[in-house]
Amino acid sequence: MMVVVGVAAHDYGDALSKSILFFEGQRSGKLPSTQRITWRKDSALQDGFQIAQVDLVGGYYDAGDNLKFNFPMAFSTTMLAWSVLEFGKFMDSDRQYALEAIRWATDYFLKATSVPGFVYVQVGDPYGDHNCWERPEDMDTPRTPYAVSKNFPGSEVSAELAAALAASSMVFRPVDRDYSARLLKRARMVFEFADQYRGSYNDSLGPWVCPFYCDFSGYEDELIWGAAWLYKATRAPSYWLYVVDNIHNLENSAVKKVNSISYSTGGSFAEFGWDSKHAGINILVSKWVLNGSLNFSPFIPNADKFVCSILPESPTVSVSFSPGGLLFKPGGSNLQHATALSFLLVVYARYLNQANRVINCGNVVAKPSRLVQVARSQVDYILGSNPLNMSYMVGYGNKFPQKIHHRGSSIPSIDQRPDRIDCNGGTQYFLSSNPNPSLLIGAVVGGPDMNDSYSDSRADFAHSEPTTYINAPLVGLLACFKGHPSSLNPL
């Protein structure tokens, strides 16, 4: 049954196109002739060659800096792939661009996993990079490659790479079977490496990955997440057995430490993002469990508990909401929570709808349509339905952030200023009160504060910096709502 809620207030199709276009602005490496964000040029063409004699050219800069962190890059790729698998049929002409965005990452991941016994997990010295404000095209900071290995393991980043490769293999299966098979074969190998040599990359590469993308939640969730995606891609029973045998390791309440402050996350079932895959695992596998083919527990109870931790009317809600209705969890770049958790709500609503099932949060009954309603409220807030009437996506709507924390966007492009700008040469642009000269179309920033206010300041990076992992789940949400602009039923 379709529940009509009136005409959509936002152009989800326009927002979808721009949310995918953003990834072209984050590209590292040799740009193709089809590049649409034309103020960006080739960059980091020697990555991997100078020090390790391995080709690590390509991939994405994760945010407003010029570093390649493979842990969040892999998560963003997994989410792009999941977005296409669930909602690709609503993307129309943008579907091809979404596939190109995924392939830009997977081509790089194939390189990063090409040396037997090693998985490259980062390129660039974070301290050197963060001390400079320069365009990626001009970088002169060390492009040090960092790898995990048998003796210095990094199960979380390796398993997330396996998940990204497995999920992407399904995306390419209908259009490029050879490439799909190559991705899946590599996913199996990288997962086996992650599982066989267990350990956190915090321990082996801590001085370089922390505090930027330190793993706070342990690597067990990524191993299960990787196995779940490999099961989805292969239907090999061994991967499902791996999930079942290990899922109970995640049932303990999670305590997280951010900026030296410890806080309870309300249980691991409530967590999802580049660091924690817990809720995503339960939602991903719930489709198979709900159709009766696999064991119900603990996946469905924990998926339901996740939903009950989000819904504002639930007696067990564990997130906060701003006066304007934006979801908040502790930590920076808050819109990553709004997009990732909303994506899970919409996907789970689809599965619940197909199973003709509702959720009980104490005495509150939540129909699938309610999950979609909450997710849509988050997307609409991001697009401008908020107290400031401001879109938090660059280039969408009439009012959006002008001074985002992003090196390339804030400095005149090579087309405008062809002379080289060195490490300190860009500082004047960072400190400038003028809008960024180069528009990073589709970039979604960290977002407003808990009181719905936004200062539009480059220096306020927790709120003004865009990231790939904010945008990636939003791609799926926008595709869903483009396909269902005035309906609560995401079939």
Is 62 an active-site residue? no
Tokens of 450: 């808990």
Tokens of 243: 């999930």
Count of residues making up the chain: 491
Question: CA 68, 69, 72: angle at the middle one, nearest 5?
Answer: 125
Cα gap 281→272, rounded to integer Å: 9
Tokens of 418: 């062809």
Question: CA 205, 209, 212: angle at the middle one, nearest 5?
Answer: 165
Catalytic residue, candidates 10, 405, 406, 463: 405
Catalytic residue, candidates 221, 275, 304, 465: 465
Pick from 364, 366, 276, 272: which is nearest to 327 by CA? Answer: 272
> Distances from the Cα of 145 to the Cαs of 42, 202, 219, 278, 293, in angstroms?
19, 16, 21, 29, 44
Cα gap 72→442, rounded to integer Å: 19
Residue 179 is which amino acid?
A: Y
Structural contact between residues 361 and 314, judged by C-beta atoms closer than 8 angstroms: yes
Q: What value does the CA radius of gyration of the chain take, rounded to a whole number of Å?
A: 21
Is 405 an active-site residue? yes
Is 456 an active-site residue? yes
Q: Are strands 255-258 and 261-264 parallel, antiparallel or unpaired?
A: antiparallel
Q: How many beta carbons lie within 10 A of that of residue 419, not counting itself?
A: 7
> Distances from the Cα of 16 to the Cαs of 32, 98, 444, in angstroms?
22, 10, 12
Is 203 an active-site residue? no
Cα gap 60→365, rounded to integer Å: 42
Catalytic residue, candidates 14, 176, 452, 456: 456
Catalytic residue, candidates 24, 65, 86, 271: 65
Cα gap 411→426, rounded to integer Å: 7
Tokens of 130: 């963060």
Q: Show which residues are catalytic.
A: 65, 405, 456, 465
